[in-house]
């Protein structure tokens, strides 16, 4: 969505009742009641994109850029350079959250920062948009849900498909209209062509990086030259592997379409198969099976290092029912077929933008990211309900985390269908939480 489109209509189509446009810049306590000042935490890649999208929305200002690396800060500032007022740079998120002229926070820092920063924001009275995964481990997810409830904050995860109009219609077709009958199985996937990350060299921390703040809640580690900015994803100290990095989206959609919450059994197979001898620790090849009450199951397959597509797409999912199946290619589109393969219904994505479902910065494109962010903003204004309350985000992320725990423990997990807790396996249950650097354990 381009700024000129907003100026023509004053709203986002399908979203924006109540979104108005002001012709003057205002911040914080000087703002009218519908003006929201955002602090953007983590702006090297995805965060810069989100900041750019948010800055174009009516009655929104990105008032603060928060990052611990100078190059990333410049990217963030450039992303919102069209704003009437330049954001203030604050490197320490704790200092940013002290500001009274800050209304809400968007978090796109590394995974180990997501829940701790979001919990701190809730405690400081700020509303939160946190990118997936919303937590590094299940314990943090539960803490974040509790913090949002305790402090009455609007907290939404970046599972953008919950706001995509065609995905909302797909759920109605399956769950309300019963177009494929009783749904009992779903299969999702994500593939990429990631290369070996090699073996990191111990070097002096670059002068442009505050390594202590980058680590934040995580126990302190020696700096290596292959961690910042991206390959931390494949180390358990900071990352959550491909399952949480990308599998969250498909697992969330499949769980949504099937109407299931917590599993009774989780099994993971796979490992670091494609390459060996480097610093990549999490699985690059993984298949996770989630079994639910009522004879239902979800399977997610991730191949980080082999680009062969499934069903013609690098990511997507298929949901199977007694009378047919629904297929989605990872975009805001789907096709429903009967058991003989005849197409019953086909809904194509909006042609407003060309999209790449495996793009690591913006698989959705600007318009669909704006739809999800706008829903969060309108919920803050009291004009809408969150399309994905933080508890729904937690349930989906928890599934992926349980898959990783099954892998790390080398065990089939039996879980409580009321909350997903691991039953009778102390070796696996130890991965439910994590150890924090002294003084950094989240409190709410």
In this structure, what CATH number is given to the domain that contains residue 60? Answer: 3.40.50.720
Please give the torsion angle defined by the CA atoms of residues 169, 170, 171 and 175, in that order, rounded to the nearest 10 degrees.
110
Question: Domain ends where: 100, 135, 161?
Answer: 161
> For residue 341, is it within any domain?
yes
Q: Where are the beta strands (DSSP E) in 149-295?
A: 155-157, 183-191, 265-271, 285-292
Alpha-carbon distance values, 334 to 174, 325, 342, 369, 394 (Å)? 12, 10, 14, 19, 25
Mean pLDDT of 155-160: 97
pTM of the model: 0.91
Question: Do residue 150 and residue 172 come from a single domain?
Answer: no
Mean pLDDT of 42-68: 97
> For residue 378, is it within any domain?
no
Q: For residue 243, what pLDDT is reported?
A: 98
Q: For residue 417, what pLDDT is reported?
A: 98
Long-range contacts of range 149-154, CB-CB < 8 Å, 24 or more positions apart? 150/122, 150/444, 151/122, 151/123, 151/125, 151/444, 153/121, 153/122, 153/125, 153/126, 153/127, 153/128, 154/127, 154/128, 154/376, 154/379, 154/380, 154/386
pLDDT band per the 50, 70, 90 thresholds, residue 365 = confident
Question: Do residue 115 and residue 81 come from a single domain?
Answer: yes
> For residue 144, is it within any domain?
yes
> For residue 368, is it within any domain?
no
Mean pLDDT of 159-165: 97
Question: Domain ends where: 161, 181, 198?
Answer: 161
More confident residue, 133 or 362: 133
d(CA 386, CA 379): 6
Question: Do residue 178 and residue 247 come from a single domain?
Answer: yes
Whether residue 346 is predicted with pLDDT greater than 60 in this model: the reply is yes
d(CA 244, CA 401): 7
Question: Do residue 268 and residue 143 come from a single domain?
Answer: no
User: What's the number of domains the chain is made of?
Assistant: 2
pLDDT band per the 50, 70, 90 thresholds, residue 358 = low
Question: Do residue 278 and residue 314 come from a single domain?
Answer: yes
Q: For residue 3, what pLDDT is reported?
A: 36
Whether residue 295 is predicted with pLDDT greater than 50 in this model: the reply is yes
As a whole number, the mean pLDDT across the chain is 92
**Cβ–Cβ contacts within 10 Å for residue 340, how many?**
6
d(CA 132, CA 160): 10
For residue 114, give the 3-state DSSP assignment.
helix
What proportion of the chain, given as a percentage, has pLDDT over 70? 90
d(CA 439, CA 427): 26
Distance of CA 68 to the CA centre of its chain: 21
Q: For residue 262, what pLDDT is reported?
A: 98
> For residue 370, is it within any domain?
no
- Residue 326's beta-bridge partner residues? 319, 336
Q: Specify the pairing of strand 413-414 against strand 265-271.
A: antiparallel
> For residue 271, is it within any domain?
yes
Range of the domain at 207: 165-351+391-429
- Report yes or no: 109 and 238 within 8 Å, Cβ to Cβ: no
Whether residue 431 is predicted with pLDDT greater than 50 in this model: the reply is yes
Q: For residue 359, what pLDDT is reported?
A: 64
Select from 60, 79, 69, 56 the least CA-distant residue to 3: 56
- Residue 315's beta-bridge partner residues? 190
Which residues are CB-contacts of 439 (< 8 A; sequence separation ≥ 6)? none
Question: Do residue 15 and residue 74 come from a single domain?
Answer: yes
More confident residue, 25 or 404: 404
Whether residue 397 is predicted with pLDDT greater than 90 in this model: the reply is yes
Q: Specify the pairing of strand 104-107 against strand 127-130.
A: parallel
Question: Domain ends where: 120, 140, 161?
Answer: 161
Q: For residue 34, what pLDDT is reported?
A: 77
Question: Do residue 142 and residue 197 come from a single domain?
Answer: no
Question: Do residue 170 and residue 35 come from a single domain?
Answer: no
Q: For residue 350, what pLDDT is reported?
A: 78
Question: Do residue 276 and residue 205 come from a single domain?
Answer: yes
> For residue 379, is it within any domain?
no
Question: Do residue 139 and residue 190 come from a single domain?
Answer: no
Which residues are CB-contacts of 32 (< 8 A; sequence separation ≥ 6)? 22, 26, 59
CATH number, domain with residue 247: 3.30.360.10
Whether residue 30 is predicted with pLDDT greater than 60 in this model: the reply is no
Whether residue 433 is predicted with pLDDT greater than 80 in this model: the reply is yes
pLDDT per residue as tens digits for the range 172-221:
999 999 999 999 999 999 999 999 999 999 999 999 999 999 999 999 99
Select from 366, 268, 275, 363 the least CA-distant residue to 314: 363
Question: Do residue 140 and residue 196 come from a single domain?
Answer: no
Q: What per-residue string of b and e applies to 82-104 under the rule 16 or more CB within 10 Å gives b? A: ebeeebebbeebeebbebeebbb
Question: Do residue 135 and residue 172 come from a single domain?
Answer: no
> For residue 404, is it within any domain?
yes
Q: Kindly state the greatest CA–CA separation across the chain.
A: 62
Q: For residue 11, what pLDDT is reported?
A: 38
Whether residue 54 is predicted with pLDDT greater than 90 in this model: the reply is yes
pLDDT band per the 50, 70, 90 thresholds, residue 356 = low
The tokens describing 349, both together, are: 């994505």
Whether residue 15 is predicted with pLDDT greater than 60 in this model: the reply is no
Burial of 181 (0-12, 13-18, 19+ CB in 10 A): middle
Mean pLDDT of 24-38: 59
Q: For residue 26, what pLDDT is reported?
A: 36
């Amino acid at each position: 969505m381009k700024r000129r489109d907003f100026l023509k209509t004053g709203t986002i189509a399908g979203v924006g009742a109540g979104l108005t446009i002001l012709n003057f810049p205002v911040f914080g306590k000087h703002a009218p009641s519908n003006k929201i000042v955002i602090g953007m935490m983590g702006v090297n890649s995805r965060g810069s994109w989100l900041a750019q999208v948010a800055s174009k929305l009516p009655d929104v200002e990105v008032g603060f850029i928060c990052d611990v690396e100078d190059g990333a800060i410049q990217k963030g500032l450039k992303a919102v350079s069209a704003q009437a007022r330049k954001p203030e740079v604050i490197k320490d998120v704790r200092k940013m959250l002290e500001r009274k002229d800050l209304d809400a926070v968007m978090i796109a820092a590394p995974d180990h920062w997501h829940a701790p920063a979001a919990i701190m924001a809730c405690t400081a009275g700020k509303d939160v948009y946190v990118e997936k995964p919303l937590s590094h481990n299940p314990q943090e997810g539960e803490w974040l849900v509790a913090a949002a409830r305790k402090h009455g904050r609007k907290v939404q995860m970046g599972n953008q498909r919950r706001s995509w109009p065609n995905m909302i219609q797909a759920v109605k077709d399956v769950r309300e209209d019963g177009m494929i009958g009783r749904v009992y199985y779903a299969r999702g996937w994500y593939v990429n062509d990631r290369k070996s990350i090699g073996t990191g060299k111990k070097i002096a921390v670059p002068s442009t990086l505050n390594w202590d703040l980058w680590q934040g809640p995580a126990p302190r580690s020696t700096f290596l030259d292959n961690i910042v900015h991206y390959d931390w994803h494949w180390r358990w100290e900071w990352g959550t592997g491909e399952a949480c990095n990308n599998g969250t989206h498909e697992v969330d959609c499949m769980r949504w379409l099937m109407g299931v919450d917590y599993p009774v059994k989780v099994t993971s197979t796979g490992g670091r198969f494609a390459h060996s001898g480097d610093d990549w620790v999490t699985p690059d090849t993984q298949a996770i099976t989630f079994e639910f009450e009522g004879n239902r199951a979800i399977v997610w397959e991730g191949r980080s290092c082999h680009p062969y597509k499934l069903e013609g797409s690098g990511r997507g999912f298929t949901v199977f029912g007694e009378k047919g199946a629904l297929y989605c290619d990872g975009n805001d589109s789907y096709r429903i077929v009967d058991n003989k393969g005849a197409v019953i219904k086909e809904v194509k994505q909006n042609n407003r933008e060309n999209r790449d479902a495996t793009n690591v910065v913006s698989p959705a494109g600007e318009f669909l990211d704006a739809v999800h962010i706008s829903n969060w903003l309108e919920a803050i204004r009291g004009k809408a309900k969150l399309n994905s309350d933080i508890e729904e985000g937690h349930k989906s992320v928890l599934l992926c985390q349980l898959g990783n725990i099954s892998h790390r423990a080398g065990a089939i997990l039996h879980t409580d269908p009321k909350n997903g807790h691991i039953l009778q396996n102390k070796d696996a249950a130890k991965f439910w939480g994590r150890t924090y650097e002294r003084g950094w354990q989240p409190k709410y």
